[in-house]
Structure formats: structure tokens, C-alpha cells
Structure 1
Amino acid sequence: MSKKKRTSIWNFKVILLFILIPLFTGVILASFIPQPVIVTIEIQDVIDNRMSSWMMEQLDYVRSHPEVRAVVLLLNCPGGTINDTELIYLELINLRKTMPVVTMVEGLSASGAFYLSVGTDFIFSNPSALVGNVGVIGFLPPIPMVFEETISTGPYKMWGTPRDMYIRQIDMMKESYLQVVLLGRSKKLKMTGTEILRGEIYPANEALRRGLIDEIGPRSASIEKAARLAHITNYDILSLHDAVQKEWEDEEPSFFILDENGISTGFPHDPGFYYLYIPNYWGTP
């Protein structure tokens, strides 16, 4: 073999080596890089302190796992307490600074649940879902029983506020809710503030027409939308319902008052303020 030919073969091997080494290195390194993940978070029950605590744990999981690139919020919920709804809403707003959050309505997104959805980037709904019911309801505490031996240092020390103050508080909360909707839906809305505050609940096609949601479609479409917003094409899907365990049992006391047959009346046990949809006793709008 001539010297020139041997040199040519050697040069070819060197070039091939320079091509293969980075290629194999990339393959090896890629095996250590986790696949991007889209997580689903379910709210399939009333929003109370137990649900908000569970949500905080799931959102902590999202923040502590850098492979998570987007979140899809699965809603089938009538709402709940104002305090717990607002806590979750603020966390979702904060999460959106680092990744897209998409809502998928799978049955009901009413009152507090709708409040959460307007804090996300995009709202999907299945065709048969119900959406809306913007507003506040309040259940006043009973007038306290005062014994002759009871002494207080002020006229409202016993219950904190005159009872007519509750009406003013509800009105302020109503206006706050409206501002959240106007901020979240912005130019997409095709309703006036007065129309929004009527508290109506709409089937999905009407909610779409009024600008309360963005699109009607299946869960898979909401996941694909989240992937596009996150600029990823190859990804895994993880349900945090299975990954993050609830800390309460379903047998715990009901959030709602039950009738003599153990059926929920839709009314909460405790006095207070709620972003809550209460259907009629037979469970229809």
C-alpha cells in the first residue's frame, strides 16, 4: 500500500473519530437528562382548606422538579371558600411566571373553580361542561347567645362586626371577583360587568360564545396546547393525583350539610363567605 493511500485512510479514520465521539457523548449525556414532563392536577371536589393544602403540596412538587415544563389543571368543581380559592389562585399566577398553565373543564367550572381558571393561560372545556356562576354567597353566623354574666370591652367584641357589615363585605368581594375575571379574560370577554355579575352558569358552547372559555375539546387537546406553550414536542405526562397523596380520608365529615338520607344539600356547614355554586336540591342548574 502506498504511503499516500495509508495517509488518506488515516485521515478518514481521524475524521470519523471526530464525528463519532461527540455523537456518542451526546447520546450518553442525553440518557441522563430527564424527559420533559407535563403534569395534570385535579380539582374534583369542593375547594376547602384540605383541598388548598393538597394543592400547595402538588405545586411544591412542580416547583421542585425541573423536568416539569407545563401544568394542566383538570376541573370538575363547584367552588368553595373564598380564602382557599384565592390562595390557590395566587399560587397559579406565580407559577405562570415559570411555565404555562392550562385549564381543562371536565364537567363543572363554577364560581371558585371558574375563579381559578381565569388565572391560567388557556381554558378548554368538554362539550357538556357547565361554566360560570360568578359571584359570592354568604352564610351569616347565628346571633350569639349572651349571658348576664358575660362582659365585653366593646359593642362588637362578641362577634367582631355589625351584621349589616356582612352585606358590604360581600359587595366588596363581588367587585374583587369581577376584577379578577376582567384581568384574566381581558379582551376575550364578550360580556359586560353587569352581565358577568348576574351569576349565571352556561353550557360550554354558550360560555365559548361569551368569551368565558377559549376552546371546546378533549383533555388531549389541552395537553397538546400546554406542550405548544412550553415549546416542547417530546414529553411524558404525569398525574399528580397519584404522585402526591391526599392527607385526608373521604370518610371525613362532609363539607356540605346532608339531609336525612345522607344526600348533600349543596349548602356548607359553616357560616362564612364562599365562591360556591349551589344547584337546586335535585342536582340540576
Structure 2
Amino acid sequence: MILLAGVIAAFRFFFGGETSSLDFDGDKIGIVRIEGMLTDSEEINTWIRELRDDKSVKGVVLRVNCPGGAVAPSQEIYNAVVRLTAAKPVVVSMSSLAASGGYYVSAPAHLIMANPSTITGSIGVIMEMSNLEGLFEKLGIQRQALTSGKLKDAGSPFRAMTPEDRKYLMGLIADIHEQFVADVAKARKIDINTLRPIADGRALTGNQALKAGLVDKLGGFEEAVEELKILCGLDPTKRMPVVEGPEKDEPWLRQILGAIRLDVHTDLPESGVVIR
């Protein structure tokens, strides 16, 4: 197993200019992949902390392909990125999607890059609830609830929402949204009143986000790595080892074939216009 790990690392370094281990000697660049819905921050933040504390990691690229997610994990990753930027250069490379929570976690970076067609922004908060009252009536099902207060079951799918329920829930949404807007304004050094008109939940393309000041440059992952090297005071044309995470469990054969750039699977492309 030790020999196999060494072979994989060697293939990645000599054929792809990268390795997946922080144990690799010499200066390197870190990659943090933030993909899919944000429902938990532990793995991402653990990897960010490892990259932050490793002196051989000269800078970090956040590769973001994320439509959003829960608020608290987004805030925790945002704070981890803030701490990372205090230690070393950080560049965001947006893929198809970096919207809502995906933009939230990107905001503190020293430089944000998006593709012209990247869907980003969507600085907003949504709470969705269903009303099944009519269905239950047709089925002859009666719901009974004992609560300690009249707002305890606000948003219940078993009854219609009252004006008081709506006011209470909108208060929660408004407070969370204000936190979101304030954090983005602080991270991007934008006056909060300048930000508010575009912080109404609307999604933007990379082109539009550049004009609005939400991203700094247009370009893909390769350009983001070059920009990071420049921020680190390194030669942007020089190949460097790359450490990437959080690690995903993959069969050892796929790791070897992936290291020598042979693809053993085909995935349908993700839609870039699905916004939550």
C-alpha cells in the first residue's frame, strides 16, 4: 500500500504537476473544492485549516461549484476563508455555479474569478413550506397539536399560515438576509447601500457580476491558478505541486488512471441555471 501511494503521488507530480498529500516536500498550492449543496462545513473547514497551517502551502484556490445551501454552514465556511486570507493569498475560481451560499463563501477571497456564463450572486434567503391542509381534509385526516405558544407551529404544513405567522417568519428571513448582505459588503469592501439593489436574490452571470463588483476578473481555473501564483510572488508559468481536498474516497484503480489523465467514467454536465 505504501508503494502504491508513492506510485500515485509520482504519477500526479510528473504527469500532472500535482500531488494529493500535504506530506509532499517543497512549496505547493492548495485547492479547496466546494461542490454541491452546503449542508455541513466540517470537512471543508478541516481541509482549509490544514492548508492554512501548512507553511509549504503558499496560496489557495477555492474551486466553487455550488448552488447554495444552509445558512449556518455557509457562515462557518465564510469565517474559515476569512481566517485563511489572513495567512496567505486566496483566489476563487467559480465553475458553473457559485450562487447564494456559493457566493457567500467566496466573498472574503483576495481575488474572485468567474467564467462569463457562471451563475453567481443570488444574495438572498428563501424559506419554503407546503400547505397540505386541503389534502388532509379530502383524506379525512384531522391534525391535533399541543404547543407551548401560538408561534411554535408557525409554518406547519397542516394549517394555513396566519398573518402573525407570516410576520414572524419574515422577521427571521430579514435578519438572516441582513447578515448575508453585511458580510458580503464587508468582505468585498462595498458600501452596503450600494450592494442592496443587487442583493435582492437575483442571479447574475459572470459578466454581470463583474460589472456589479461581485467578481474581479473573468477566467477559468487555469487563469485562477496563474493569478494565485502572481499574488504569492511566484512565476506564473512555473508548474508546481498541487494538494487538493477535501479528499473523496475513490477506488485505487481510478486514482492511478486519474493520475495519468485517463478517464474511466463519463458524467452528464450539470446544468448551470438551477438556482435555489
User: Which TM-score applies when normalising by structure 1?
Assistant: 0.64
Give, in angstroms, the shift of residue 235 of structure 1: 6.1
Q: Which of residues 27, 36, 45 is equivalent to 1:56?
A: 45
Alpha-carbon distance in 1 for matches of 2:243, 2:130: 39
- Report whether the alignment pairs 1:127 with 2:116: yes
Give, in angstroms, the shift of residue 82 of structure 1: 0.3
Partner residue, 2:228 = 226
User: Match for 1:277: what amino acid?
Assistant: I
Alpha-carbon distance in 1 for matches of 2:66, 2:181: 19
Partner residue, 1:180 = 183
Partner residue, 2:203 = 201
Q: Which of residues 237, 240, 246 is equivalent to 1:236?
A: 240
Structure 1 pair 96–141 and aligned structure 2 pair: CA distance change class (3 A) = farther
Partner residue, 1:272 = none
Deviations 1:28-54 (A, max 9, x none): xxxxx93211111112211112xx222
Alpha-carbon distance in 2 for matches of 1:98, 1:169: 34
Q: Which of residues 38, 61, 65 is equivalent to 2:54?
A: 65
User: If you compute each CA radius of gyration, which structure gives the higher value, 1 or 2?
Assistant: 1
Structure 1 pair 176–73 and aligned structure 2 pair: CA distance change class (3 A) = same
Give, in angstroms, the shift of residue 95 of structure 1: 1.1
Alpha-carbon distance in 1 for matches of 2:193, 2:212: 6
Partner residue, 1:77 = 66
Give, in angstroms, the shift of residue 197 of structure 1: 2.3
- Report whether the alignment pairs 1:213 with 2:202: no
Give, in angstroms, the shift of residue 112 of structure 1: 0.7
Equivalent position SS for 1:71 = strand
Query: Which structure 2 residue ranges, 5 or more long, are not aligned?
Result: 1-23, 134-142, 156-163, 251-273
RMSD (Å) for aligned C-alpha atoms? 3.2
User: What count of residue pairs does the alignment treat as equivalent?
Assistant: 212
Alpha-carbon distance in 2 for matches of 1:60, 1:190: 29
Which has the higher mean CA deviation after the structures are superposed, 69-78 or 193-202? 193-202
Give, in angstroms, the shift of residue 78 of structure 1: 0.5
Partner residue, 1:87 = 76
Structure 1 pair 136–34 and aligned structure 2 pair: CA distance change class (3 A) = same
Equivalent position SS for 2:204 = strand
User: Match for 1:85: what amino acid?
Assistant: S
Deviations 1:113-153 (A, max 9, x none): 1111111111011222112111100135879x545xx5x65
Alpha-carbon distance in 2 for matches of 1:193, 1:208: 13
Partner residue, 1:277 = 275
Equivalent position SS for 1:39 = strand
Deviations 1:78-137 (A, max 9, x none): 010001100100011011111111100111111111111111111011222112111100
Equivalent position SS for 2:105 = helix
Kept in 2, the 8 Å contact 1:75–1:108? The answer is yes
Kept in 2, the 8 Å contact 1:100–1:226? The answer is yes
Alpha-carbon distance in 2 for matches of 1:166, 1:174: 12
Alpha-carbon distance in 2 for matches of 1:246, 1:120: 28
Alpha-carbon distance in 1 for matches of 2:148, 2:193: 48
Kept in 2, the 8 Å contact 1:191–1:210? The answer is no
User: Which TM-score applies when normalising by structure 2?
Assistant: 0.66
Give, in angstroms, the shift of residue 158 of structure 1: 6.5
Structure 1 pair 116–192 and aligned structure 2 pair: CA distance change class (3 A) = same
Alpha-carbon distance in 1 for matches of 2:82, 2:60: 12
Structure 1 pair 36–135 and aligned structure 2 pair: CA distance change class (3 A) = same
